[in-house]
Structure 1
């Protein structure tokens, strides 16, 4: 039947002179020779069959541009494939290939070559002849070497080598996975990956260094454990750890191997849990320390294990039952191990009597020995640089100084210097935030300088008394002036902003609010929300992450006022609608209730969900989204379940309400919480379609106004119409200028936020706007100025271009800012419609 079906499709394609033919998943073991007659064919899909060879007939399809042969049983590629000179995409993943012929180099127009999930041990030197190749996927093969010639592929933009363990390339160097890149992440530069690989192939030695992280509540004995294990001492009156303590612990593994553990001892105070997450890393060994004093050790264990899993992934965990002489206790070991398979053991200890310490040392040494990346090869020059940085007494140096040190130690390549900076950052050896233009010039040699500075601010009594309001003028009293000179205060505040721990008040850049220190009392206005009269939505979590609501308050602060924020909730106002968003730790949930006009309620919910989704992307787990039933807000349906039901053609869903079986309209439930252009399927939710790229050009002095605009445009983002980009979104480890230039070149719409500070900025006005104007005049992008503060408009270089808001009235001059931003959004919508129409015609 499959053969006959294939012949029929080939005959139909020949009759219609088709350019595309799909013969996938027909169970074919060979292909009818008649396929060679399809001279006009440009796209041929043969994936998911049982082909063992590629027939010569395929080589006669001279106009073929895309050939899909993935998920067959191919063991070899014939040289005849070289005749497909017009081929641009070749997909061979999921076969049984052990080699690629030299003839592959003759496919000079090839742009994408997918060879992942085969049995390749190397690739031929002739691959260097694929001068137009942009993407090469070699994931999950069995590669042992890569030819130097691959470096000649000057157009290569994406190189995936993940899953080739024998190459010994660290995850930090490999960069974002294929799936992450498909979801919008930036891929690593092939040049960086290859330079590291070729360097370690020539001269390298194992790093033999890893991170040991101790977590647990305060007063469980973490610091005492470190002192016993590392320094062989004990102090019964040990003071509590403020922030993080970092200790070097030299180990001697297997009787012949020197290894160093960087021991990070995290303070257990509740206020600091939300900031710990920024230093909890994968590829580490964790010690979870518990004691039985409070009597809820099983719940404590689950809380911390969930937190470790969220930020440390599958890193191994040793659970330490401490102070067992003082308070004997145990936990449900089998139950915890079943739920958290990364637990490698349970050890009962007591630091005062030294009970269990020898056993704990042995378990730590055993698990350290098994750490996957402990022995990652490290280039000799990198060792020298790491040693030099470690010997320096300074807490921080400029990034330029770091580059000079690299140059002095035979590492002159800038990309390799950047790769090493990322590597040292992830190991916790030296911190660098070169992804952020406001932070990039400082290289932190002493991570304690950062962590303790932030924790000093968070733990300040005066700050707690003022409900989280911080005046920058108070920092000299909070921080040691010798270690934290006044000129570095701005760096710490920018870092806290980067971590979404605080935001500046709109009326002053000298005053900040830290939501983690807000009052716990919910305002009376929260009682105004009658659930039955509201649009409701809910998130439920396996664990409610500390700092979740404070981060949300930071992200949405332009929609809230000071009196309507508290530590676990906030009330937002947006164009006539109002939302109550609050967290319930016991219920491990966040509830959202919105009043106002129906269309505006949905728009505000779209903004809220957009911001929560951004925060959730930092977690390894995803919460469950739930839709409360109208008039019965305590009864809910799973949002994704409803999408699946709708995708399968179901119209109604049953629910028992007050003892009666009711059938509810699925479409009505979904439309109630989604914007008008709702993703149509579950796949659309997980993989949104291509949106127009929007680029902000602005002065950092106008960042607060940009935040306001971005908040209003989240409605368009939620609809999948646009994707915003500005320099705050530059990813760690990337060159900020190159990233700016790349996103400016890719933008469909360029929004300069025009103000006196923007005009005065040489980079914004002269560099960015010069290129933006060129692209606008060439009809490659649309330049759409947004006038935010009064300027001499007629003297600007783009005064001839239509601007927003209408009538050239600056946003700050509108009495109602919502009206101003609504005017901007409506104008932007019209531009989007024009671009979409032009693209559809193309």
Structure 2
């Protein structure tokens, strides 16, 4: 369809209209007559302009214009597409803000002509020498290794007349840094993967990095550089890599002899020219703001200062200021963490200041000696106090927490553990978990990212308190059961063994799988394979997905070769041994009927360790699909945190108030969240459950008439056995969730 029929204006009661995937070039002004329209999807058309009348659709809450390149709307303004809004519960961009931006840039605007070039690869492959040759035409045979990230500005000229700026991010290759790098690998960038033949295994090395780029950089184009080619001649399986990854070209270089550098420049210019977002339209005022921020002497400013800065330079619109901050984050000019309340006072940051601070901590001798344990006061020795004053040191740790790089101990929030720097030695206790005496499960990875197990240790630290932790493994305890979770980096496998009472083994396995799957979802296209070892022959593993297909096709058993014999495997018995009751049945229910009861945490950030403990005890309900829990740490990157909190508070079926003196004293929790929660409770729209986490006099609080948990409103912190307290809380929440699901007719 190339144009809308005139009769469209008669559909005045229409509430949703999906016109995506057509060939529309314009919309009729009469679209303003669709006064009841709430959702309009115009994605993937050929629109060249929008009518002013779109702004009169007052009921419109969702507007999707993705895939209409001629409109010049950047992703940061468009927001998530309709699929992500529906499936991932992302928050749609406000139509008014999209349209305001569009009509403002129609006047004074020019193409951005700026992009981010990211160099990755192992240490000593010559990344920094390559940057120096490309940008400055210099070579230093004694070049020092890059500690952390080095950022360089590179000016190119395309087609002989078009000036373009590349922000070049050169990542240090030390192994300890790989897990940290991934949080700065952004989409909409051009990547240079640098490898050499000094140590062998080049194909596996290239595969590792390409998978990492794919996971965090999406479909960003990659140029593979075969460096030091004169010193160590080698080649790669070029066709095989190009079939699997977005590799645009391979270039052989040698910085010492100047080999291949002109070709590499040409390829970089060609791929930069092809970047979709390179020429996004920028309002004139944004260029001034961008350049001023890039040259700013301050290492950080709070968001109010940033807004004032924007106003002084011609951008007074709040939504446009937020969109610009997200845009500059993707370009690598600033780092913007408006999505995290922990970091809300310091949104706009100098990337050098952030990355150098984190890398100095990770590389410190003191941290290495202390096997990853560090206290807030230690930063006075590690970081320059002039550059990192006392008031900003906790911020660095909060940023590392955001990235799952560390956690604070429950009894002291100034005492942290960074699992990446734990001892490498596996403790003797690990040998107690014999496969024959445990419930076993495995994950096999095409590429096992550095830091996956340390990140898992961060996410499950509540369960490993007082138990052995090491760099590639951990022992966990939940209820009466214990589990060993460890990675074999060379084999690219994670092994899980659960011991203890038979009745509780599946429960602990479900908690472990829940956390690992959450990490897997965060790493795009990781695609690990779940494997179940045979109980009587744990050396033989069967793919979980294969068993699921067999069950769905009513195949009850199958033969499996074990050594020199053939054994019969019972499909249902093997699956039931690792799955909680009802889990697989629920997976076969259509998505629209599968939604769990939505649960919202309202809490003081000083009670975050207690929230972590409760969340651990609710993971079984999440695994079974009974609940879908949300708290402010789940706000997606780039989202405005206050808006996200409001949206999820309004969606919630159950609202948990984690009550403590700090919760009562928090203006945001008390005045905003609790007030609105109690209003929804009074109207029957949601159920509010106070959970008394620390002792205080709450009998005169606004929620005092509600049924509080744990039993008799006794604070969790006062219970002799805290696990018993949390179990009492989780059972109370489960009863409410079951009743709400029964009333709503949701499938389980």
TM-score under structure 2 length normalisation: 0.96
The Cα of 1:653 is off from its aligned counterpart by 3.5
Partner of 2:463: 559
Q: Which has the larger radius of gyration?
A: 1
**Higher RCO by CA contacts (8 Å cutoff, separation 6 or greater):** 2
Residues 1:783 and 2:688 aligned together: yes
Change (3 A) 1:105 1:365: same
The Cα of 1:110 is off from its aligned counterpart by 2.2
Partner of 1:98: 2
Alignment check: 8 A CA contact 1:643 1:682 kept: no
Partner of 2:258: 354
Residues 1:243 and 2:243 aligned together: no
1: CA distance, partners of 2:484 / 2:746: 44
The Cα of 1:841 is off from its aligned counterpart by 11
Alignment check: 8 A CA contact 2:81 2:92 kept: no
CA RMSD of aligned residues (A): 2.0
The Cα of 1:801 is off from its aligned counterpart by 1.0
Partner of 1:513: 417
Alignment check: 8 A CA contact 2:595 2:746 kept: no
Out of 303, 308, 333, the position equivalent to 2:213 is: 308
Out of 800, 818, 842, the position equivalent to 2:705 is: 800
The Cα of 1:684 is off from its aligned counterpart by 5.2
The Cα of 1:668 is off from its aligned counterpart by 2.2
The Cα of 1:139 is off from its aligned counterpart by 2.5
2: CA distance, partners of 1:311 / 1:808: 45
Aligned ranges 1:15-164 → 2 under 5 Å: 97-164=1-68
Change (3 A) 1:608 1:528: same
1: CA distance, partners of 2:705 / 2:467: 44
Residues 1:763 and 2:673 aligned together: no
Aligned ranges 1:665-676 → 2 under 5 Å: 665-676=570-581
Out of 104, 108, 118, the position equivalent to 1:203 is: 108
Partner of 2:344: 440
- The runs of at least 4 consecutive aligned structure 1 residues that moved more than 6 Å come to 685-688
1: CA distance, partners of 2:599 / 2:550: 34
The Cα of 1:687 is off from its aligned counterpart by 8.1
2: CA distance, partners of 1:741 / 1:331: 51
2: CA distance, partners of 1:202 / 1:101: 30
Out of 221, 235, 248, the position equivalent to 1:330 is: 235
Residues 1:494 and 2:412 aligned together: no
2: CA distance, partners of 1:478 / 1:135: 53
Give the 3-state SS of the residue equivalent to 1:510 in structure 2. Answer: strand
2: CA distance, partners of 1:451 / 1:556: 26
Out of 624, 632, 636, the position equivalent to 2:529 is: 624
Give the 3-state SS of the residue equivalent to 1:536 in structure 2. Answer: strand
Alignment check: 8 A CA contact 2:596 2:746 kept: no
Residues 1:820 and 2:688 aligned together: no
Of residues 311-320 and 751-760 in structure 1, the stretch that sits farther from structure 2 once superposed is: 311-320
Give the 3-state SS of the residue equivalent to 2:498 in structure 1. Answer: strand
Aligned ranges 1:125-524 → 2 under 5 Å: 125-189=29-93, 190-340=95-245, 342-524=246-428
Give the 3-state SS of the residue equivalent to 1:516 in structure 2. Answer: helix
Alignment check: 8 A CA contact 1:469 1:511 kept: yes
Of residues 237-246 and 626-635 in structure 1, the stretch that sits farther from structure 2 once superposed is: 626-635
Residues 1:707 and 2:612 aligned together: yes
The Cα of 1:682 is off from its aligned counterpart by 5.8
Of residues 759-768 and 615-624 in structure 1, the stretch that sits farther from structure 2 once superposed is: 759-768
Out of 812, 833, 836, the position equivalent to 2:741 is: 836
Deviations 1:286-324 (A, max 9, x none): 111122221222222222122112212222222222222
Change (3 A) 1:724 1:629: same
Change (3 A) 1:836 1:297: closer
The Cα of 1:197 is off from its aligned counterpart by 2.8
Residues 1:526 and 2:430 aligned together: yes
2: CA distance, partners of 1:336 / 1:184: 31
Change (3 A) 1:282 1:785: same
The Cα of 1:239 is off from its aligned counterpart by 0.8
The Cα of 1:683 is off from its aligned counterpart by 5.7
2: CA distance, partners of 1:334 / 1:671: 43
1: CA distance, partners of 2:116 / 2:123: 21
Of residues 632-641 and 611-620 in structure 1, the stretch that sits farther from structure 2 once superposed is: 632-641
2: CA distance, partners of 1:172 / 1:708: 35
Alignment check: 8 A CA contact 2:485 2:495 kept: yes
The Cα of 1:805 is off from its aligned counterpart by 0.6
1: CA distance, partners of 2:314 / 2:663: 41
The Cα of 1:681 is off from its aligned counterpart by 6.9
Change (3 A) 1:799 1:216: same
Partner of 2:501: 597
Give the 3-state SS of the residue equivalent to 2:577 in structure 1. Answer: helix
Structure 2 unmatched ranges of 5 or more: none
2: CA distance, partners of 1:551 / 1:307: 15
The Cα of 1:134 is off from its aligned counterpart by 2.4
Give the 3-state SS of the residue equivalent to 1:572 in structure 2. Answer: strand
Change (3 A) 1:192 1:317: same
Give the 3-state SS of the residue equivalent to 1:442 in structure 2. Answer: coil
Partner of 2:489: 585
Partner of 1:723: 628
Count of matched residue pairs: 745
Out of 571, 582, 586, the position equivalent to 1:677 is: 582
Change (3 A) 1:162 1:599: farther
Change (3 A) 1:168 1:655: farther
Of residues 287-296 and 410-419 in structure 1, the stretch that sits farther from structure 2 once superposed is: 287-296
